[in-house]
Chains A and B, each alone.
Chain A
Amino acid sequence: MDANKHFVVGVFNDEDVLLSGIKKVRASGIKIEEVYSPFPVHGIDEALGYKRTRLPIAAFIFGMTGTSLALLLQFWMLGFDWPMIIGGKNFASLPPFIPVTFELTVLLSALGMVGTFMIVSDMKPYKWPRQFDIRSTQDMHIMAVDLAVNGGKTKDDIKRILSESGAVEVNEKSFE
């Protein structure tokens, strides 16, 4: 068995061609691994058929965790562990706790979202992204097709479809 991963890489030099190309490639039954662009292309996520992110749900859960933690922390500290009279108020009174609760809610939802996003996008520390073509950081759009998940089609078929869909260059790339 070959342990390496083999890809066919299409190079596009125009975002409109890329968008129609994505549709053609997907219509032919080929599964696209990933598309890399030097700048955001409007409508590319719909073209690739991506589902909407569920990040807001994660944000809500992290936020609620922050809210509960902050309230628990303050009520326990100021109400039970070390009660102090501040400004003649009750030991545990809600209004002065609100700003801290708000801040912790924001903090935890923000940090949680960043963390979730990095895990979901496979951006772990010390993990370097696969570089299909260095020109995707400059002036070219790069479309990568994983041969392993496109078993029904030969490499030549895929190369031909990519060219027909508007790729100015079609290369091969393997990673260990």
Chain B
Amino acid sequence: MGHSTIAEEKFVFTQEAKKKLIILLAIGIVLFIAGVFFARSADHSEGSGGHAGVMVEKLVAAADESAAAEHASGEHHETAPWIKRILTTLWMNNVFFVGLGIIGLFFVAIQFAAQAGWSAGLKRIPLAMGHWIPIAGLLTLVLWFVTNHDIFHWTHSYLYDENSGSYDTIIAEKAPYFFWPGEAGGFPIFFIARMVIFFGMWYWFFTMIKKNMMAEDLDADTKHWYKNRSISAWFLVFFAVSSSVSAWDWVMSIDTHWFSTMFGWYVFASWWVTGLALITLIVASLKEAGYLKIVNSNHLHDLGKFVFAFSIFWTYIWFGQFLLIYYAHIPEETVYFIERMRTSPYSWIFFANLILNFVLPFLLLMTRDAKRHLSMLKLVCPIIIVGHWFDFYNMVTPGVMKEQGGLGLLEIGTAFIFLAAFLWITLSSLSKMPLFGKNHPLLEESLHHHI
């Protein structure tokens, strides 16, 4: 079995590719430093003046803060906006790239669970993306402790103290979700435990699936495929819960008062379509570089259908969430969209989001030919990746920065740094294993895949 006419391939992570990534990283660092400098000087110059609208907001905020400060026994102090902005963009980019890593594993898992044959030749690309998971876990944990009060409003202990002037009933009722079994306002044991367990389990599932895929290369035994099928099924069950909960924890809890029952799906949809776009983009690039002879336009067509379909799925979730909140018209809920639709700089991103992530992919990928051609896929996939980066920007930033948020060199630089690191890990992992499993039991089916 598995005697294919296609020769085994191995991806070479060339010096040239490495150089390009290092240049990307260097540009990212330069932009980041310049961004920090600009953000800081903008901060200082705004200190004296400012617009009337902003001033009113600030006065209201100041009243809140001073009331809080009185009862926070001197612990509480407001971080400068430019530092907050750095922390926000770090957290936002981290969450975005956590998604790309975990979607790599998720893609592999659904291929096993569905016993899919078409993807047998390209499963190593999402598998390589999964190598980001342990790094992402470490980054998330460290970044959470760094960002803490500045991003997650609910971490302030005065919110849970009935005697403090800033006692917040709504947040206090949510306390067990963060702090159980500890004391409200203390160390968020439950929250951190979830973070550790999720990354731990994701990484464990990843190593198990990878181990079986590598073992299959050596002994050509189908038992590895069967094992992976059941591991994948268990992973999907775990991921169904953990992806939703991590969306609430890492993104939705920033806007602590607000909640949406669709948010878990929303973040998953955004992660998933971005991951699909990146997988497709990497496959298309490898194909263009002369690799992956096993992949032809039929496989590209399927990837294109995935990207097309889940762009629409994301839009469906986006609209489902929007319409319910729009029609119900409850102030606690609508504030989320008012912040994003009516405030600069989020407003243009809000609408650009729909154009980049729905209108363009929908129209550009609609025809059969578009999904089968490298050039069109290489145009649409980057649009979607950038579009969903904006999507995550608008999920995270307004809740933290309110009207002081910015989108400039700082944010772009951080994204470049993360992108360079992510691609480095992905490509170097990819170069350490054969580009496809020569003993995959469904490889023959993939070779004859025809749609």
Contacts and interface: CB of A to CB of B under 8 A. Distances in A.
Nearest to B320: A99
Looking at A56, A89, A95, A98, the one whose CB has the most chain B CB atoms below 10 A away is: A95
Interface in B328-381: 329, 366-368
Interface in B25-68: none
Contact of B329 (A88, A98, A99): A88
B322 interface: yes
A60 interface: yes
A56 B327 contact: no
Contacts of B319: 98
Contacts of A89: 327
A95 B326 contact: yes
A88 B330 CA distance: 12
A99 B319 CA distance: 10
A56 B367 contact: yes
B323 A87 contact: no
A56 B323 contact: no
Interface string A59-81: 01000000000000000000000
Interface in B296-334: 319, 322-323, 326-327, 329
B368 A98 contact: no
A99 B323 contact: yes
Secondary structure type dominating chain B contacts:
helix
Interface string B264-303: 0000000000000000000000000000000000000000
B327 A96 contact: yes
A98 B326 CA distance: 13
Interface in A36-56: 42, 52, 56
B45 to A, nearest CB: 40
A87 B330 CA distance: 11
Nearest to B366: A60
A86 to B, nearest CB: 9
A95 B329 CA distance: 13
Contacts, number: 19
B184 to A, nearest CB: 37
Contacts of A42: 450
Contact of B323 (A52, A88, A96): A96
Contact of A87 (B329, B367, B450): B329
B322 to A, nearest CB: 7
B367 A95 contact: no
A99 B320 CA distance: 10
Nearest to B326: A95
A81 B36 CA distance: 56
B368 A56 contact: yes
A87 B326 CA distance: 10
A120 B288 CA distance: 40
Contacts of B367: 56
Contacts of A98: 319, 323
B363 to A, nearest CB: 10
Contacts of A99: 323
A45 to B, nearest CB: 12
A92 to B, nearest CB: 15
Contacts of B368: 52, 56
A99 B327 CA distance: 13
A89 B329 CA distance: 9
Contacts of A96: 323, 326-327
Contact of B322 (A52, A56, A88, A95): A95
B366 A87 contact: no
A95 B366 contact: no
A45 B319 CA distance: 40
Contacts of B329: 87-88
Contacts of A60: 366
15 contacts: A42-B450, A52-B368, A56-B367, A56-B368, A60-B366, A87-B327, A87-B329, A88-B329, A95-B322, A95-B326, A95-B327, A96-B326, A96-B327, A98-B319, A99-B323
Interface of B: 319, 322-323, 326-327, 329, 366-368, 450
Given A60-B366, A87-B327, A96-B327, 14 more contacts: A42-B450, A56-B367, A87-B329, A88-B329, A89-B327, A95-B322, A95-B323, A95-B326, A95-B327, A96-B323, A96-B326, A98-B319, A98-B323, A99-B323
The 8 closest A-B pairs by CB, nearest first: A95-B326, A95-B323, A87-B327, A87-B329, A98-B319, A88-B329, A96-B327, A95-B322
